[in-house]
Amino acid sequence: MIPEFTCDVGTKKGEKVDYAICNDGNVSILVECKPASSELSLNHASQLFRYFSVTEARVAILTNGVVFKFFSDIDTPNKMDAKPFFTLQMDALKKADIRTLSNFTKGNFDIETIVTEAGNLKMQSLVAKELEKEFSDPSDEFTRLIAKRIHEGHLTATIKESFKKLLTTSISSHIRDKVNERLTSALQASNPVDSENDSTAAKTDSDGVITTQDEIDGFNIVRAIGSRVISPDRIVMRDAKSYCAVLLDDNNRKTIIRLHFNSPTARYIGTFAGKEETRHSVSGPVDLYKFEKDIMDRITELEM
């Protein structure tokens, strides 16, 4: 790795890029670094664009330490693309990100494989963005495609608008059901229910604390959400007479959320920022999915 890598580019002499990573003596990856507070844009990548065409590098990385944008020359050989083929966010890592990064380890590094994969990743990203657009706001073409398979007769503007609304609702419901199926399957595998107990029955301990099925369901939902960033075994339920606490590492100073489900007339959950609890009215455990960001932010806060 060469910090402050220098290369003459046209009339610009002695211009530097923050890091060059070499493999077998050849520059393979260029890295430009910005402050963590910076919103990364192409304006930050001017050196990368210039250096890319005059070095052997086929990969360039623009980063602020939290977000890493990976570029290559997929569109035009020896010219850095304007759009990254892969974006890594350190505060929102996914398993697929780890698999992609493994291609950049020294033992696995093969530039042709990386560039081929880069093309696939870029196309996959574009497809995902188009699907996201269709799912949130179905186009006329997509609406017409689905409606024709279901509706017999002429598709009037009113019918198309009706199908458009139905598509948005149906897609959201389908995705939610699939996610719930996966989460339930994962939770059952990691925390099997005792077959001798009725799964709908409440459990009472020696102190008179009653753990209801709603509290168990709420805990499992929080655990499922948190398992995206930490091991689910670290998320623990500790019930009390007035509320049920969901803790990190079974530490009562690390409360992720509180479930106030004991009242027969009103239910609340308590989210946390620092030591302050904010209560939110809910109809049942499923409403916890609406507070996914609060739960993830709280876990991140407790991990710092």
Residue that the structure tokens 């198309």 belong to: 160
Residue that the structure tokens 């963005």 belong to: 129
**pTM tops 0.85, yes or no:** no
The CATH number given to 2-130 is: 3.90.1570
Partners of residue 268 on adjacent β-strands: 260, 281
Alpha helices in 110-156 (DSSP H): 111-136, 140-150
Phi-psi domain of 43 (left: phi exceeds 0; alpha: psi -120 through 50; beta: other): alpha
In the three-class reduction of DSSP (H, G, I as helix; E, B as strand; rest coil), residue 16 is classed as strand
Q: What share of the chain is helix, strand, coil (3-state, %, to 5)?
A: 40, 25, 35
Residue 8 CB burial class (10 angstroms; 0-12, 13-18, ≥19): exposed
Q: Are 226 and 237 in contact (CB under 8 A)?
A: no
Please report, for the chain, the start and end positions of each structural domain, with discontinuous segments joined by +: 2-130, 137-190, 203-303
Task: Please choose, from the candidates 241, 248, 245, 278, the residue with its C-alpha nearest in 3D space to the C-alpha of residue 262.
Answer: 241
Amino acid at 148: K
Q: How far apart are CA 29 and CA 71, in angstroms?
A: 10
Q: How far apart are CA 118 and CA 124, in angstroms?
A: 10
Mind listing the pLDDT tens digit of every residue in the chain (304 residues)? 889 887 655 545 666 788 988 888 888 888 999 888 888 877 777 777 877 777 778 888 999 999 999 988 888 877 888 888 888 888 888 888 888 888 888 888 887 888 887 788 878 878 888 888 888 888 888 888 888 888 888 888 888 888 888 888 888 777 777 766 666 665 555 555 443 444 434 555 556 678 888 899 899 999 989 988 888 889 999 988 889 999 999 898 999 999 998 877 788 999 998 888 999 999 889 899 999 999 999 999 998 8
Q: Are 55 and 84 in contact (CB under 8 A)?
A: no
In the three-class reduction of DSSP (H, G, I as helix; E, B as strand; rest coil), residue 187 is classed as helix
Q: Are 3 and 33 in contact (CB under 8 A)?
A: no
Q: How far apart are CA 182 and CA 207, in angstroms?
A: 35
Main-chain phi, psi angles of 26, to 5 degrees: -105, 140
